[in-house]
């Protein structure tokens, strides 16, 4: 049976139309970004904000109530141990308190004079008792039977009693003298006379970190005046969730950065404090946290006291593992999966993971080194969907 030219032309046109319809109706390829499975180091960290602090901090407080002289130092000044940083003078008294203090001083002066007179009188009485006992002893040595034993005992008793009375009078004089000095000290600063200041000295070398009081003003005993420390000796304190802290160990590495583009400082976890505390998160959730203290390996000259820093506390690290990007991972049932690219099509692959870091995870099985995986797969990416590689991560 012969097929006419007209039929051949018609069949060709139908085939072209079918191909055109397939091309038009076929879903457009999805643009995807891919990265390769590779080998390299992997680090698992607990990432939190931290704050630097001086290791040895000294807060100098007023030991007495008085008038604090204006401080001559400024924040950042270098100080040496024993240097006088502040002076506190006695507060002036009002007119009524001044009169009462004067009267107390006059009373104390009178008490001291009376005690001094009693001491002199007791000293005289004791001297007379001593001389009387010596005369009896001389008479007895010259004429043994002239002085009875009873009379000798009475003379000795009188001498001992006079000596005890003298000691008591001396103690009363000392007490009266101290009372007089205390009353006199209470009057210091009540008039034109200014008492001796109490000196506030720095206990160690360092720098002034903070001034609590800059101007001259009255202060009470125990009030903080200034803060001293050595900012070249810093450590970092990190508040970590307790469930993360149990995975950390003293001696583990820590990486500290102070902001974008800043150099990373290496440190070591030196202490995980034994007691936790409650913090309220920005979302209003109560969290149990604990302080982790990190010592910096070298002096961090770019940092100072109470600087905010980003801290990565190392939980686990290995120098050579098979790695897959974390951005390629998604959940498949109870396990993990990724999409690979094969002949322009996305293919679902189930994988098994080990440790998971912030940007990469340890691949145990399911992929080979060098295979490409799709990063950030959207809901449109499914097994068998056509994809077009836009960039390599």
What lies within 8 Å, CB to CB, of 382 at 6+ separation is: 346, 348
Q: Characterize the bridge pairing of strands 387-392 and 30-36.
A: parallel
What lies within 8 Å, CB to CB, of 249 at 6+ separation is: 269
pLDDT score, position 94: 66
pLDDT score, position 388: 87
Q: What angle do CA 104, 110, 114 make, to 5 degrees?
A: 145
Which CATH number applies to 45-54+231-318: 3.40.1160.10, 3.40.50.300, 3.65.10.10, 2.40.30.170?
2.40.30.170
Closest C-alpha to 220, from 68, 65, 93: 65
Topology classification of domain 57-90+195-229: OB fold (Dihydrolipoamide Acetyltransferase, E2P) (2.40.50)
Rg (alpha carbons) of the chain, rounded to whole number: 46
pLDDT score, position 376: 92
pLDDT score, position 192: 47
pLDDT score, position 363: 94
Locate the domains of the chain by residue range: 28-42+320-392, 45-54+231-318, 57-90+195-229, 95-186
Q: So what CATH class is 28-42+320-392?
A: mainly beta
**How many CB atoms are located within 10 Å of the residue 295 CB?**
15
Closest C-alpha to 249, from 313, 306, 164, 186: 313
pLDDT score, position 46: 95
DSSP structure string for 259-284: STTPPPEEEEEEEE-S--EEEE-TTS
Give the separation between CA 377 and CA 359, rounded to whole angstroms. Answer: 16
**How many CB atoms are located within 10 Å of the residue 204 CB?**
13
Q: Is 86 helix (H, G, I), strand (E, B) or coil?
A: strand
Q: Is 252 helix (H, G, I), strand (E, B) or coil?
A: coil
What lies within 8 Å, CB to CB, of 31 at 6+ separation is: 387, 388, 390
Are the CB atoms for 245 and 290 separated by under 8 Å?
yes
Query: Phi, psi at residue 8, to the nearest 5°?
Result: -65, -45
Q: What angle do CA 337, 354, 352 make, to 5 degrees?
A: 30
Q: Is pTM beyond 0.75 here? A: no
Q: Assign residue 222 a region: left if phi > 0, alpha if psi is -120 to 50, beta otherwise?
A: left
pLDDT score, position 25: 47
pLDDT score, position 258: 84
pLDDT in tens, the chain (393 residues): 445 566 566 666 666 656 555 544 455 778 889 999 999 999 999 999 999 999 889 999 999 888 899 998 999 899 999 999 999 988 776 677 678 777 888 898 999 999 999 999 999 999 999 998 888 888 888 787 777 888 888 989 999 999 999 999 999 999 999 998 888 877 665 544 556 788 999 999 999 999 998 889 999 999 999 999 988 888 999 999 999 999 999 999 999 998 766 678 899 999 999 999 999 988 899 999 999 999 987 655 668 889 999 999 999 999 999 999 999 999 998 899 999 998 889 999 999 999 998 899 999 999 999 999 999 998 888 898 988 887 555
């Amino acid at each position: 049976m012969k097929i006419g030219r007209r039929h051949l032309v018609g069949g060709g046109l139908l085939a072209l139309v079918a191909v055109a319809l397939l091309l038009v109706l076929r879903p457009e390829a999805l643009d995807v970004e891919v990265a390769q499975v590779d080998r390299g180091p992997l680090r698992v960290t607990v990432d939190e904000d931290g704050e630097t602090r001086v290791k040895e901090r000294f807060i100098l407080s007023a030991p007495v109530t008085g008038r604090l002289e204006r401080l001559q130092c400024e924040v950042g000044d270098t100080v040496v141990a024993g240097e006088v940083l502040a002076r506190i003078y006695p507060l002036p008294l009002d007119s009524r308190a001044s009169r009462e203090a004067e009267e107390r001083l006059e009373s104390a002066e009178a008490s001291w004079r009376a005690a001094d007179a009693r001491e002199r009188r007791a000293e005289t009485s004791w001297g007379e008792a001593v001389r009387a006992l010596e005369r009896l002893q001389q008479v007895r040595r010259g004429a043994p039977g002239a002085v009875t034993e009873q009379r000798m005992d009475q003379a000795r008793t009188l001498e001992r009693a006079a000596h005890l009375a003298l000691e008591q009078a001396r103690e009363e004089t000392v007490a009266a003298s101290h009372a007089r000095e205390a009353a006199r000290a209470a009057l210091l600063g009540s008039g034109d006379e200014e008492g001796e200041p109490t000196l506030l000295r720095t206990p160690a070398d360092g720098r002034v970190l903070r001034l609590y009081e800059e101007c001259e003003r009255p202060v009470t005993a125990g009030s903080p005046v200034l803060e001293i420390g050595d900012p070249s000796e810093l450590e970092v304190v990190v508040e970590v969730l307790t469930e993360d802290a149990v995975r950390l160990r003293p001696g583990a590495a820590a990486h500290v950065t102070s902001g974008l583009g800043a150099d990373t400082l290496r440190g070591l976890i030196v202490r995980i404090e034994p007691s936790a505390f409650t913090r309220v998160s920005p979302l209003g959730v109560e969290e149990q946290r604990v302080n982790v203290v990190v010592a910096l390996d070298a002096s961090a000259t770019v940092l100072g006291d109470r600087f905010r820093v980003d801290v990565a506390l190392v939980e686990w690290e290995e120098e050579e593992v098979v790695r897959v990007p974390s951005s390629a991972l998604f959940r498949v049932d109870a396990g993990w999966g990724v999409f690979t690219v094969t002949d322009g099509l996305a293919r679902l692959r189930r994988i098994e993971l080990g440790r998971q870091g912030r940007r990469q995870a340890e691949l145990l099985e399911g992929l080979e080194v060098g295979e490409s995986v799709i990063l950030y797969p959207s809901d449109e990416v499914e097994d068998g969907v056509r994809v077009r590689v836009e960039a390599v991560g």
